[in-house]
Structure 1
């Protein structure tokens, strides 16, 4: 078991400057090295479940011996701005079914591993418009890991997660792993009534992710779906005067709670936890859409507001997103599925709703995008 590279005290110090009490961090899905059983995962021994289908994707927490330095800024190029909006290179032979009227699509007949650069440009725009797209019948999981990373790397610099397990030799791959016969869910629900954890990925980074890939390696026959919410539509649902008041507000996002949670699970912290300040409203560079850019996992307080004021407004926005079933979609996982979504205009939550001991194992490729920015209020 690899020790933490950054001490819990570092995270606690960072936390003291950011936490307001609103947006309680909770982690139900990444169990850490304490719960990892190599024998059960590699051989299926001592469990009713089979061995892992993709052992090359099993997590380790010792890819590095020294802490990583802070992330350096980089210039992101948004390929969605180069796309043909009729999608001739991406969707000519595809079958596209919308999941709902305003978020999500399911696509058959497209092989992501075979896309040309022009088709990748169109993928970036298509996903920004649909918010989340489930591509079925994909060979992504069977590719060499580096080949999958090469595809994702077209869309931005790979993010290395500060706390999660990763395949050996490939720290750029973020793994979501709950092993065979893992019963820690019972511990979680002894203190919680639900597993909903709405978030956009690692919004505490100065340049959070944009076009993001998540693909299934193993999963339960039923359960473990992922919910997505359209944060651009959530913004549009607000009254014009309320939208006007939100413009110009800045929000602190914190990595400290995630780092502390990792150390408590016997995990690792690869980089000192950071905080970033982002606009509460974010503009997408390819579509021009504005979207709410807050989430209860990582957003902590609104700059310039007193604690009670900040908590009141953030809690309203979290409640607005959580209750917005009319701008949410539920994606059901199946073998050969790659889900591509745009982290800039969505939030999501996995569901911990199965109790048969089945393994849930997914891999995420997380290209970083531009630093969030806000354009002028347009009414």
Structure 2
């Protein structure tokens, strides 16, 4: 993605140096497909306003597609721009564009009614990023004109779209991670785990988007099941014992992509780039809000660095259980077709609910890559700040 910097606005210190947060002009996403993939599918093009799943089925192409090509390993990016940090904390321009604002729960989730995402200005998108960082997830319904390419382009405003090292893709749109289960998904419950996406990457997942174009329906045609849960990582962290929090802030944890690579190998697939395991702070700072949150994922975080294995496993299991038990900090998104959820993958957890077998559920997830996770000892707890522009309780 080509960008042009106007000015540097902040330089919070990080363990590895400086995280640069800069203002830059908005650009269109370059849909140039990696050469290795383009050679494999030279004539494949997903039509606009057609479900990629249904189109692939019509074309007789494996979906999601696990065809492999070689990619260069991801390296640390220093050109990330934190859009939320550029915004007006009151989010006045965004809120004025909505006809109604509905908060899903006191501590998680907001629905903006009357918003058309394809018509937002850069100022409003920056404010949307801030709102997602504050509330965890923002839901905007009935975005009929936001097809798959427009979803990618919209998400790319918040960071370079991520290409997964192993999982299935859309052949001409590798930046999309299909969220897909059907009557063959007998092991679907294994993915019902609280997590942040791809925490093993050097630059973590940031603002992310998800929409569904095929949803489970009952025999009489009504939508049923397939919801997604989100949880406030700031408050999940703050609800831990203060002495325990102080200890956790001194620790780093390793998250690994080798497990996904092993699953792929069992099915005869190779990874597009070598899997990695990366060490990040166990407690991280969100650059938009300046708040601390827990940064672990049950399906990816394998150990706490520097601790004996049994102690590491015990602490991690306690934290995983704590996330699951924190019902008061969760919200539930009930989907209809063409809704878009925008959430901050850095500081909030999520999990899909697999309660619709053997029905089909298909969605498209796009992740904007963010900064390398860091911990600022001066960052605050959720209870120490007041978000501007709205009140919940």
The TM-score, its normalising length taken from structure 2, stands at: 0.76
1:121 aligns with 2:144: no
For the residues of structure 1 that align with 2:53 and 2:369, how far apart are their CA atoms? 29
The CA deviation string for residues 339-360 of structure 1, in whole angstroms up to 9 with x for no partner, is 11100111111111113x3221
The structure 2 residue matched to 1:291, chosen from 276, 290, 293, is: 293
The structure 1 residue matched to 2:199, chosen from 200, 203, 206, is: 203
The CA deviation string for residues 206-265 of structure 1, in whole angstroms up to 9 with x for no partner, is 111111001111111211111111111011111221211111200000000011112324
Q: By how many angstroms is 1:166 displaced? A: 1.7
- Alpha-carbon contact 2:212-2:362 (below 8 Å) kept: yes
Secondary structure of 2:128's match?
A: helix
The structure 1 residue matched to 2:91, chosen from 84, 87, 91, is: 87
For the residues of structure 1 that align with 2:237 and 2:108, how far apart are their CA atoms? 14
Partner of 1:214: 210
Q: By how many angstroms is 1:53 displaced? A: 7.5
Judging changes above 3 Å, is the alpha-carbon distance between structure 1 residues 73 and 100 closer, same or farther for their aligned structure 2 residues? same
5+ residue gaps, structure 2: 1-45, 58-62, 217-222, 382-393
Superposed counterparts of 1:39-50, under 5 Å: none
Partner of 1:372: 373
For the residues of structure 1 that align with 2:270 and 2:123, how far apart are their CA atoms? 39
Judging changes above 3 Å, is the alpha-carbon distance between structure 1 residues 53 and 264 closer, same or farther for their aligned structure 2 residues? closer
Partner of 2:347: 345
Superposed counterparts of 1:210-359, under 5 Å: 210-220=206-216, 221-355=223-357, 357-359=358-360
The CA deviation string for residues 2-22 of structure 1, in whole angstroms up to 9 with x for no partner, is xxxxxxxxxxxxxxxxxxxxx
For the residues of structure 2 that align with 1:98 and 1:56, how far apart are their CA atoms? 37
- Alpha-carbon contact 1:208-1:368 (below 8 Å) kept: yes
For the residues of structure 2 that align with 1:60 and 1:226, how far apart are their CA atoms? 24
For the residues of structure 1 that align with 2:103 and 2:226, how far apart are their CA atoms? 21
The TM-score, its normalising length taken from structure 1, stands at: 0.79
- Alpha-carbon contact 2:76-2:203 (below 8 Å) kept: yes
- Alpha-carbon contact 1:249-1:279 (below 8 Å) kept: yes
Q: By how many angstroms is 1:148 displaced? A: 2.4
The CA deviation string for residues 185-223 of structure 1, in whole angstroms up to 9 with x for no partner, is 2xx28xx7x763111000000111111001111111211
What is the CA RMSD across the aligned residues, in angstroms?
A: 2.1
Q: By how many angstroms is 1:72 displaced? A: 1.9
Secondary structure of 2:102's match?
A: strand
Partner of 2:114: 109
For the residues of structure 2 that align with 1:345 and 1:150, how far apart are their CA atoms? 23
5+ residue gaps, structure 1: 1-41, 43-50
Secondary structure of 1:201's match?
A: coil
Partner of 2:141: 136
Partner of 2:386: none
For the residues of structure 2 that align with 1:100 and 1:266, how far apart are their CA atoms? 44
Partner of 2:363: 362
Secondary structure of 2:259's match?
A: helix
For the residues of structure 1 that align with 2:156 and 2:241, how far apart are their CA atoms? 39
- Alpha-carbon contact 1:213-1:338 (below 8 Å) kept: yes
Secondary structure of 2:235's match?
A: helix
Partner of 1:10: none
Q: By how many angstroms is 1:59 displaced? A: 3.0
For the residues of structure 1 that align with 2:367 and 2:144, how far apart are their CA atoms? 18
Q: By how many angstroms is 1:267 displaced? A: 4.4
The structure 2 residue matched to 1:59, chosen from 41, 64, 67, is: 64
1:172 aligns with 2:175: yes
Secondary structure of 2:350's match?
A: strand
For the residues of structure 2 that align with 1:195 and 1:256, how far apart are their CA atoms? 16
- Alpha-carbon contact 2:52-2:170 (below 8 Å) kept: no
For the residues of structure 1 that align with 2:263 and 2:145, how far apart are their CA atoms? 31
- Alpha-carbon contact 1:54-1:217 (below 8 Å) kept: no
Q: By how many angstroms is 1:157 displaced? A: 1.1
For the residues of structure 1 that align with 2:267 and 2:180, how far apart are their CA atoms? 14
